[in-house]
Amino acid sequence: MLPGEKGPQDACGVFGVWAPGEEVAKLAYYGLYALQHRGQESAGIAASDGERIAVYKDMGLVSQVFDETTLNTLTGHLAVGHCRYSTTGGSHWANAQPTLGATPHGTVALAHNGNLTNSAELYDKLIDKSGFPSRGEMAQGNTTDTALVTALLAEHPHGSLEDAAMQLLPQLVGSFCLAFMDEHTLYAARDPQGIRPLVLGRLDRGWVVASETAALDIVGASLVREIEPGEFVAIDEHGLRSQRFAETRRAACVFEYVYLARPDTTINGRSVYESRVEMGRRLAREHRVEADLVMPTPESGTPAAIGYAEESGIPFGNGLVKNAYVGRTFIQPSDTIRQLGIRLKLNPLKSVVAGKRLIVIDDSIVRGNTQRALIRMLREAGAAEIHVRISSPPIKWPCFYGIDFASRAELIANGLGVDEIRASLGADSLGYISEDGMVSATRQERSELCTACFSGTYPTRLPDADKLGKNVFEARTPVDSSPRREPGGPSVAQRPEHASAVSIDTRPSSDDGLSRRAAGRTRISDQDPGVHEGSTGCDPGPDSDLEDLLLPEDRVPAGPGTPSAAQPATQPETAKDA
């Protein structure tokens, strides 16, 4: 399907390690590798040797950004890493993480998973108090809430970074899992709702914090516990210490269980894989149908399809073959190639699906274009009947906590009933799991889960619509403080010439604490804001692997009031507050 046709976009992944005597940059690399599914736009690692913090970051996948030579330059005893999907601030090099900031007491390098909903308020307070920052990443064109938090930490006149964090964290609203560091200490913090996951692990010679338990497994760390909602942790040569900056008001994102997290991750004591299998079982009880084969949409629908097959007694099989080696392409297809549909990525097994009554399992439907294309392809392969089953309820509301769903106007379930959606997709039947069934499968208390994208009930109060959205800072940045523009062209970000490295030397010889290698300039594309020249670019999400080719009929709006995918997204509506 064409670039721009997106499903739910992932949150980011954060990783931090304090381990004297270990190759911390390589541990961070493998931790980010395990978290790659959470963000595929950019990646970065900061490391400290006790005197100097160095950061290497760039656009692209973890394996594209780093190599052995690069990692060998990131020496020290602690590191933080990040893989990004953009939710506040556009997708370009200036917004890659970790961010760096020079504070009165040293340096901070910070990585953030989540999305603050009071960013505009905090930004205005910063400007009113100190004016637009004259140094640091915001002054260089970084428009993320991560850079804002870094700047606010630098503004606090407290005796230490730890004191500054304890003063600032209670002021942050929304979802945030922070892994940050100064020259000597690793810090981690999680919002009072615990919307995104964050865990603590133990190495033989140190500690690890990570977005998911799967990242602990890959580096050989044992799970100690979750970082509690509202908890702030510091790790240094004196050990681990914990403080509370807010009372726990747990509202963990249920969509982590449905799609976002890796299936081999455990969240709050519950296996994500088992939750998805159980969702499939409950889906079979709620929407049983006579059929010959249960098949998943690769790969996200597989655990639920296994559960559906187990419960229904209908055989499980793969009706689609996925080419694992084809990434998203920016080569525009000719008219002839376009008629091949999405077979560049998926191809039906005709011997398996021909003449069969199929039950096709997927985790969610956003706009419906992907499912429409898949159903057409299965029909062409000879399927007799196609019954679609979805292991989450209809998505009707946008997320403001780190998942970049389509705007509410683009969500197919907004304003259309289930039978109307079925007709739009071209399926013989359509069934969604109930919200009760989904929640029960997670084995979590309903009161401790955020289901806002299904129910419209948000766990934190939301500001007005003009204070939300990816470009909230761009609208507020003073004209004379914005990144430079070439005449008649798009903005130009500062970027080092060869390695995408930024280092801060905290010794007195540095003027403002910030030194760069020879800075080259990288043009940001207006046509594809997720890609700079020379980058492959990525858009994560359940449908992103299938986003190269769409036939015109797949892009037809599902009903009146729903814009086509080619039209610009509208500002999401804000639902009722909790």
* Measured distance CA(228)–CA(505) in Å, rounded: 33
Residue 450 marked ligand-binding: yes
Of the CA atoms within 13 Å of residue 110, those in its CB half-sphere come to 30
Q: Is 399 within any annotated ligand binding site? A: yes
Alpha carbon distance 71, 26 (integer Å): 6
**Beta strand 78-84 pairing with 42-48:** antiparallel
Burial string for 461-496 (b: 16+ CB within 10 Å, else e) reads ebbeeebbbbebbeeebeeeeebeeeeeeebbbbbb
Question: DSSP state, 299?
Answer: T
Scan for tokens 């492959």, then name that residue. Answer: 536
Rounded distance, CA 444 to CA 449, Å? 7
Q: Kindly report the number of other CB atoms within 10 A of residue 75's CB atom.
A: 15
Is 12 labeled as catalytic in the residue annotation? yes
DSSP string, 98-158: SEEEEETTEEEEEEEEEEESSHHHHHHHHHHHH-S-SSSTTTTT--SHHHHHHHHHHH--S
CA distance 392 to 294: 17
**Is the separation of the CB atoms in 48 and 181 below 8 Å?**
yes
Q: Is 253 annotated as a binding residue?
A: yes
The answer to whether the bond into 478 is cis (omega within 30° of 0) is: no
Annotated catalytic residue within 12, 83, 177, 538: 12
**Count of CB atoms within 10 A of residue 457's CB?**
14
Per the annotation, where are the binding residues? 253, 300, 362-363, 399, 450, 453
Per the annotation, where are the binding residues for [4Fe-4S] cluster? 253, 399, 450, 453
Per the annotation, where are the binding residues for Mg(2+)? 300, 362-363
Active site amino acids: 12
